[in-house]
Amino acid sequence: SQTIHQWPATLVQPVGSPLSLECTVEGTSNPNLYWYRQAAGRGLQLLFYSVGIGQISSEVPQNLSASRPQDRQFILSSKKLLLSDSGFYLCAWSLGLAAEQYFGPGTRLTVT
Amino acid sequence: QQPVQSPQAVILREGEDAVINCSSSKALYSVHWYRQKHGEAPVFLMILLKGGEQMRHEKISASFNEKKQQSSLYLTASQLSYSGTYFCGTPARGSGNTGKLIFGQGTTLQVKP
């Protein structure tokens, strides 16, 4: 069966510090991968998605970037965090057209 | 392009029924439903496909009206475990095989004993 991992679960970082969040999927090959951010009490904002290794599409211009160095690994990064980067970061995967998405447990980021 | 959900929030007693609607201004060929419990990640409930049958997940069912460009989620005889925020998601325009979804703003459901 497929599983998706994210770490860390929680993170407190000062403004201006770098960020690296990792997501890995097990039990499937060539998944579509997604990074979402959810502000407190709000909806799901798609940040990046990837259909294959090295293929990244950005949805929202910001100081975040994403990379997919391996088929089942998706990384979200920032060189300098802003207060507005605080939120619940979710990684998800799916297979193909109109397929359901499965979410990882998420990383709760607080920028102070 | 974001689907619109209604109502924004619902408070129920155990055993009562509720309906959550998801409407789009563009033609739909599929609608996804997810539930997110407080502090947790969203969990997939079901997908409705154009021309498909009404789907069920436990005592939760959903319908898809292609003409009205709308899907409805029916929660029957609600249980405490149904509490959470429900999101509908629709494929983004031009998403091709990316599986990219646009989610509604969410409907918060609270079931009280």
Domain boundaries, chain B: 4-112
Distance CA B106, CA B85 (A): 6
The upper half-sphere exposure of residue A35, i.e. CA atoms within 13 Å in the direction of its Cβ, equals 27
Among A57, A100, A103, beta carbon nearest to B41:
A103
What pLDDT is attached to residue B97?
72
Q: Which residues of B touch A100 (CB under 8 A)?
A: 32, 44, 47
Mean pLDDT by 10 residues, chain A (112 residues): 93 97 95 94 92 90 91 96 96 86 96 97
Q: Which residues of B touch A49 (CB under 8 A)?
A: 98-100
Amino acid at the residue A57: S
Among A43, A97, A103, beta carbon nearest to B99:
A97
What pLDDT is attached to residue A89?
98
Query: DSSP code of B92?
Result: P
Which residues make Cβ contacts (< 8 Å) with residue B67, sequence separation at least 6?
Answer: none
Among A42, A97, A103, beta carbon nearest to B42:
A103
| Distance, first Cα to last Cα, chain B | 37
Q: What is the domain partition of chain A in residue ranges?
A: 3-107
What pLDDT is attached to residue B65?
86
The upper half-sphere exposure of residue B94, i.e. CA atoms within 13 Å in the direction of its Cβ, equals 1
What is the DSSP pairing of strand A45-52 with strand B101-103? unpaired
Q: Do B89 and A101 touch (CB under 8 A)?
A: yes
The helix/strand/coil state of A5 is strand
What pLDDT is attached to residue B29?
83
Distance CA B93, CA B1 (A): 8
What pLDDT is attached to residue A110?
97
Distance CA B28, CA B32 (A): 11
**What CATH number does domain B4-112 carry, 3.20.20.70, 2.60.40.10, 3.40.50.300, 1.10.10.60?**
2.60.40.10
State phi, psi for B112 to the nearest 5 degrees.
Answer: -105, 150
Q: Structure tokens of B88?
A: 């509908």
What pLDDT is attached to residue A17?
97
Low-confidence ranges of chain B (pLDDT < 50): none
Q: Hey, which residues 2-41 in chain A have their CB within 8 Å of chain B?
A: 32, 34
Q: Which of A25, A47, A51 is nearest to A105 (CA)?
A: A25
Q: How many CB pairs under 8 A join A and B?
A: 58
Q: A3-107 — its CATH code?
A: 2.60.40.10
Which residues make Cβ contacts (< 8 Å) with residue B39, sequence separation at least 6?
Answer: none
What pLDDT is attached to residue A21?
97
What pLDDT is attached to residue B52?
66
